[in-house]
Structure 1
Amino acid sequence: MQLSEQWVLVTGGARGLGQSITRALAREGAGVVINYLHSDTAAWALAEELGPRALALQADVTDAAAVQRLFAQVRERTGQPINAVVNNALAQFRFDGDARPQIGDITWQRFAQQLEGAVKGALNTTQAALPAMREQGFGRIVNVGTNLFQNPVVPYHDYTAAKAALLSFTRTAANDLGQHGITVNMVSGGLLRTTDASSATPEAVFDLIASMTPLRRVTTPQEFADAVLFFLSPWARAVTGQNLIVDCGLVKG
């Protein structure tokens, strides 16, 4: 299915990286569901800017019933099911290495919050999408990961553990759902220059990371978004269970 024929849900799609993914989808003619939790003003403004094939809908992705209602709203308002999901929502996290909790004092509550946002959120959206995807024999799920569990240059313990668990979910879901024509993949970035979540990162850190990459720069949200589009496109129809690292070559494999 071409991108222009799809309705794609982007969780956390109004701000930061999510907004870049939403804009990239709209650029290619896809219908976009801009999910938000608290960013109502940003979501509505973005939907108005992008036109009739963009909807802004509120839902807490950790609430299964709220996610089911969101899917029903999309079907009611567009007459079409959601064909693809980008699990991008981030549970109240900022990339500030100086302020991060260290292993000696971090609480399990912080791990649980990140696991709920990443893994439970992806489970809820996947389960809500499954009936229509199975019926169509087509579906695309893309989870947003990180290169930090391969290269923990800054040990964000809770965030990194949750994204590692999401990679496991990506691979087991891909094996389970491939028989229905549904692919499940992950796109993992490094530090992005710049999103709301990375705005607390000192400029010197961006420059240091850029100096270590083969391209001598830090990935932008727009570049990351284009990689997400690959997995949603017909070009990736035989690709599933994969983790594509988009970080200007910093991490290999």
Structure 2
Amino acid sequence: MKEVSYVVVFPTIFSKNKIPQLISNIKKILKVRNQEFSSVKRDGDVILVNSGDPVFASSAINLLFGVEKVAIARQVKNEFKTIVSEITSIGGNLLLKGEKFLVTVEGTTKGFFPKDVEIAATSNIIEKKSKLGAQPGTEGNYDKLLYTYLTKNNAYICIFIDNGQGGIPFTSTKQNAICCVYDELSAVSCFETIKQGYDTKIIVCYNKKSDLLNIVKTLNQIIPRLVKEKISIDFFQVKINLSGTKNYLNFVSMAIEIMLNE
């Protein structure tokens, strides 16, 4: 039987009451990125994505706000022996010679404690991978984390896990905002506005055409997080030099006036 790897999405604590919106955003960004998927569904506090290419799908999903972690994992039943066996198999294959590893298990258990699984899996890996010289590490000292998350019925043994962007899902506030990007600081402000779940319209103010290159490079880091197939950005030339405190404040005042008229 072919083993299937899933993308497991862990919402931030602020997104746990907004999971339907996060699921919608996941579907949208996968479509925008031309990533095929057969299902996106909830399993307890996590979201399970069955994708044709978990690596590219997880990379796309990790652009979204409202995500604490993204993992590529194998799914097994939430049964003690099955979980320990799968952690031993998958975790053991991920280890390199002499690496220190840490087995961490979190989530919902039935008839056992997460610590029981951690101890049993750690012992099995040490025994079966003794030739590699693999050693158990500690929370503050390890080379590889072998992470498993348990839901009511399933266990997800992670092959790969990465930190997400944090924040809350895009458009989850059901409120609109407008941001003007003209330098690095304004770009950070725009980024944080989107991160807080606002449906954000972006405008660009610039002094010289030569300024546009850096602004566009910055926008390329922001635009993918808007989860839209088509995005309209208005450009305004403001003939005020940004050098000097007084000029800078005048430029910002003009940018604010433009935003208020949009």
TM-score (norm 1): 0.27
Q: Which structure shows the bigger proportion of residues in helix conformation?
A: 1
- Give the structure with higher Rg (CA): 2
Flag the structure with higher strand content.
2
